[in-house]
Amino acid sequence: MTVDSPLAADTRLTPASDGVFEGSLSDRWNALGGIVNGGYSVAVCLQALRAVLPHPDPLTVSTFFLGRCAPGPVELRTDVAKRGRRVSTGEARMIRNGAEVVRTVASFTDLGAWNGPSAVLATLPDLPDPETAIDPMAGVRLPGVTITDRVEFRYARLPGWRRGRPSGDPSAEFWIRFTGGRDATVFDLPMLVDAAAPVVLDVAGVVGSATVELTTHVRAAPAPGWLAFRAATRYVGGGFHEEDVEIWDSRGELVAQSRQLAVVLAGSPSTSDRTDG
């Protein structure tokens, strides 16, 4: 028996007509400014696709964000592009107030049903015991943000931008889990890859990031426990940046990989953030 994750209750959909579903974006997964977290929107799309595709698990999920989106009722319109033996593919369009706000195309598979050669050419993040690591959100309230009540983080040390001094190194490794420790499923991973603050905040002059497109590969079902998160941005320029994320589980297995292309929001950091500057 699987215990539902905290996200499951907020991504439930009701069938409306053939391939069309109705749901509601909760206000419990809000990012800065009270807009819904992008990864949460992806998770809602995946529930619609799960209902129309024959395979059980998301494998590769690509989402284009078409507009800022507040909590409230949404409609999901799906179509199935291909039902294959190993992989099936479909699309979900999320409509809010008559306008399409999110488009997701995803391939599903049965993770664990296939075999073959294996090789891992990277190592999992080297992190201290989460019990002794730092909660970067302790005592912090960000305007409109609620996702930090649902997801918690543990860092070896606070990132530069959190200390008001961007380090110039837009990368980070830390622990992540649902607040309180409820375990994550494969359907939570495409939300979790997008749940942390963007590491590009550690580049001087960057005050935020707006995702254009996010692709996640789900590679395995996560084992129970804290998940190790690795994020890196390597190319910032021309008004855009990418961010790569890996999530490793407590067995030391890579369970998700993501990459996004985002608009760089430039400006001066607000002086209120410079608590020790």
Report the C-alpha gap between 41 and 104 in whole angstroms: 9
Residues 114-153: x where in contact with a second copy by CB under 8 A, - otherwise, as a string: xxxxxxxxx-------------------------------
- 277 touches a second copy by CB under 8 A: no
Q: How far is the CB of 270 from a second copy (least distance, A)?
A: 16
Q: Which residue from 103, 163, 165, 182 is in contact with a second copy, where contact means CB under 8 A?
A: 103
Angle, CA of 102, 103 and 105, to the nearest 5°:
145
Rounded to 5 degrees, φ, ψ at 20 are -115, 135
Residues 217-236: x where in contact with a second copy by CB under 8 A, - otherwise, as a string: x-xx-----------xxxxx
- 16 touches a second copy by CB under 8 A: no
As a dihedral over the C-alpha atoms of residue 29, residue 102, residue 191, residue 198, rounded to 10 degrees, the angle is -80
Residue 182 amino acid letter? R
Beta-carbon contacts of residue 74 (< 8 Å; ≥ 6 apart): 22, 23, 24, 25, 44, 94, 95, 96, 101
Q: Does residue 167 contact residue 193 with C-beta atoms inside 8 Å?
A: no
Beta-carbon contacts of residue 129 (< 8 Å; ≥ 6 apart): none
Q: How far is the CB of 148 from a second copy (least distance, A)?
A: 25
Q: Which residue from 33, 73, 128, 205 is in contact with a second copy, where contact means CB under 8 A?
A: 205
At 43, list the tokens: 């998770």
- 85 touches a second copy by CB under 8 A: no
DSSP 8-state class, residue 36:
B
11-19, 87-95, 129-137, 174-182 -> range binding a second copy (CB under 8 A): 87-95
Nearer to a second copy, 33 or 67 (CB): 67
- 92 touches a second copy by CB under 8 A: no
- 107 touches a second copy by CB under 8 A: yes
Q: Does residue 135 come out as left (phi exceeding 0), alpha (psi in the -120 to 50 range) or beta?
A: beta
- 41 touches a second copy by CB under 8 A: no
Interface residues toward a second copy, by CB under 8 A: 59-60, 62, 64, 66-67, 81-82, 84, 86-87, 89, 91, 93, 100, 103, 105, 107, 109, 111-122, 168-171, 203-206, 212-213, 215, 217, 219-220, 232-240, 242, 254, 257, 259, 261, 263-264, 266
